[in-house]
A and B are shown apart, each in its own frame.
Chain A
Amino acid sequence: SQQGEEDPQALSIQEGENATMNCSYKTSINNLQWYRQNSGRGLVHLILIRSNEREKHSGRLRVTLDTSKKSSSLLITASRAADTASYFCATDRGSYIPTFGRGTSLIVHP
């Protein structure tokens, strides 16, 4: 069963715009991670945020975590066509085993 649920399922934007994806989960976590998957490829780890952190940045990525609402968001600023991919959140359910949601499919039009 999948722990996290990403929202929206699909997102289509123009290059230069910001993209925001959300993730909700059900049980307590130690950390939450975001991954990117290009079509037909493996997953690439983007960023990890621990349960005692509220916000984290990495380049054009900004992740927030609200443990009271059991939700996280991933913001990609100034998007590029190369950001086109599926994005997944993964929670650990307290066991350090990443458990993935269904993902958000992002299309960035040049």
Chain B
Amino acid sequence: GAGVSQSPRYKVAKRGQDVALRCDPISGHVSLFWYQQALGQGPEFLTYFQNEAQLDKSGLPSDRFFAERPEGSVSTLKIQRTQQEDSAVYLCASSLIAPTEGAFFGQGTRLTVV
């Protein structure tokens, strides 16, 4: 596709439910980033992949958060036993290698935990 695609666009989960958020990066992009954006705040870094290798997961807020990119293209962010504080927009971005000319962002998945 022409850009970074995220699905679903909106997700409502009951507290305690597991969710999986998908990111399709731009074809050929080596680097992939996940961010969490709370209302009125800037994106907070969660994790970074270079191809299939997860090089940095320092931003994942708890062990309920897990991300994978098994074949170096599509990535999934999984949140287990969702809590209300997990409600946010989850943004995925990709870039060719290092984002020396900027990263391309998807539209995000808005997660609401009720």
Report A's interface with B, CB cutoff 8 A.
2, 31, 33, 35, 41-45, 48, 88, 92, 95-103
Contacts and interface: CB of A to CB of B under 8 A. Distances in A.
B42 A103 contact: yes
A79 to B, nearest CB: 22
15 contacts: A41-B108, A42-B4, A42-B105, A42-B106, A42-B108, A45-B103, A48-B100, A48-B101, A88-B43, A97-B33, A97-B48, A97-B56, A98-B103, A101-B42, A102-B40
Name B's interface SS. loop
B22 to A, nearest CB: 15
A96 B98 contact: yes
Query: Interface residue tally of chain B, by bracket?
Result: 20 to 34
Interface in B12-43: 31, 33, 35, 40-43
B105 A43 contact: yes
Interface string B29-70: 001010100001111110010000000100000000000000
A35 B95 CA distance: 14
Interface of B: 4, 31, 33, 35, 40-45, 48, 56, 91, 93, 98-108
A94 to B, nearest CB: 11
A105 B70 CA distance: 37
B42 A45 contact: no
Contacts of B105: 35, 42-45
B5 to A, nearest CB: 10
Contacts of A33: 99, 102
A88 B42 contact: yes
